[in-house]
Amino acid sequence: MDLVLRDARVIDGTGGPSYRADVGVTDGRVAEIRREGEGPRPSGARVLDAAGLALAPGFVDMHAHSDLALLRDPEHTAKAAQGVTLEVIGQDGLSYAPVDDRTLAHVRQAVNGWNGGGEGDTSVDFDWRTVGEYLDRLDRAFEGRGFDGRGIAVNAAYLIPQGTVRMLAVGWDDRPATGAELARMKRLVADSMEQGAVGMSSGLTYTPGMYADDAELTELCRVVARYGGYYCPHHRSYGAGALEAYEEMVTLTGRAGCALHLAHATMNFAVNEGRAPDLLALLDGALAAGADISLDTYPYTPGCTTLVAMLPSWASEGGPDAIMERLRDPASAGRIRHHLEIVGADGCHGVPIEWDTIEISGVMNQALAGYVGRTVAESAAAAGEEPWTTARRLLVEDGLGTTILQHVGHEENVRRIMRHRVHTGGSDGILQGAKPHPRAYGTFPHYLGRYARELGILTLEECVAHLTSRPAARLRLPDRGLVREGYRADLVLFDPDTVAAGSTFEAPRTPPVGIPHVLIDGRFVIEDGRRTQVLAGRSVRGSA
Q: Shortest CA distance to 177 belongs to which of 189, 167, 187, 190?
A: 167
Q: Shortest CA distance to 494 belongs to which of 81, 16, 147, 195?
A: 81
pLDDT of the residue at 79: 98
The C-alpha atoms of residue 409 and residue 50 are separated, in whole angstroms, by 38
pLDDT of the residue at 120: 85
Radius of gyration of the chain (CA): 23
How do residues 156-197 score in pLDDT, each as one tens digit? 999 999 999 999 999 999 999 999 999 999 999 999 999 999
Asked if 436 and 373 count as a contact pair (C-beta separation under 8 A), the reply is: no
pLDDT of the residue at 5: 98
pLDDT of the residue at 543: 76
pLDDT of the residue at 47: 97
Helix pair 387-397, 320-328: axis angle to 10 deg: 140
471-485 burial, b for 16+ CB within 10 Å, e for fewer? Answer: bbbbbebeebbbbbe
pLDDT of the residue at 544: 60
Question: CB under 8 Å to 95, separation ≥6 — which residues?
Answer: 67, 89, 107, 111, 158, 159, 161, 164, 201
Question: CB under 8 Å to 471, separation ≥6 — which residues?
Answer: 60, 62, 86, 88, 294, 296, 424, 425, 481
How do residues 354-409 score in pLDDT, each as one tens digit? 999 999 999 999 999 999 999 999 999 999 999 999 999 999 999 999 999 999 99
pLDDT of the residue at 119: 85
The C-alpha atoms of residue 178 and residue 170 are separated, in whole angstroms, by 8
Q: What is the mean pLDDT of the chain?
A: 96
Asked if 416 and 281 count as a contact pair (C-beta separation under 8 A), the reply is: no
pLDDT-above-70 percentage for the chain: 100
How do residues 224-275 score in pLDDT, each as one tens digit? 999 999 999 999 999 999 999 999 999 999 999 999 999 999 999 999 999 9
pLDDT score of 312 more than 70 = yes
The C-alpha atoms of residue 205 and residue 432 are separated, in whole angstroms, by 21
Q: What is the CATH number of domain 59-301+409-531?
A: 3.20.20.140
Asked if 294 and 393 count as a contact pair (C-beta separation under 8 A), the reply is: no
Q: If pLDDT is split at 50, 70 and 90, which confidence band does 152 have?
A: very high
Helix pair 179-194, 214-226: axis angle to 10 deg: 30
The residue ranges of every structural domain in the chain are 59-301+409-531, 306-407
How do residues 415-453 score in pLDDT, each as one tens digit? 999 999 999 999 999 998 899 999 999 999 999 999 999
pLDDT of the residue at 128: 98
Whether pTM > 0.85 for this model: the answer is yes
pLDDT score of 483 more than 80 = yes
pLDDT score of 304 more than 80 = yes
* CA separation, residue 68 to residues 272, 288, 317, 436 (Å): 34, 39, 26, 16
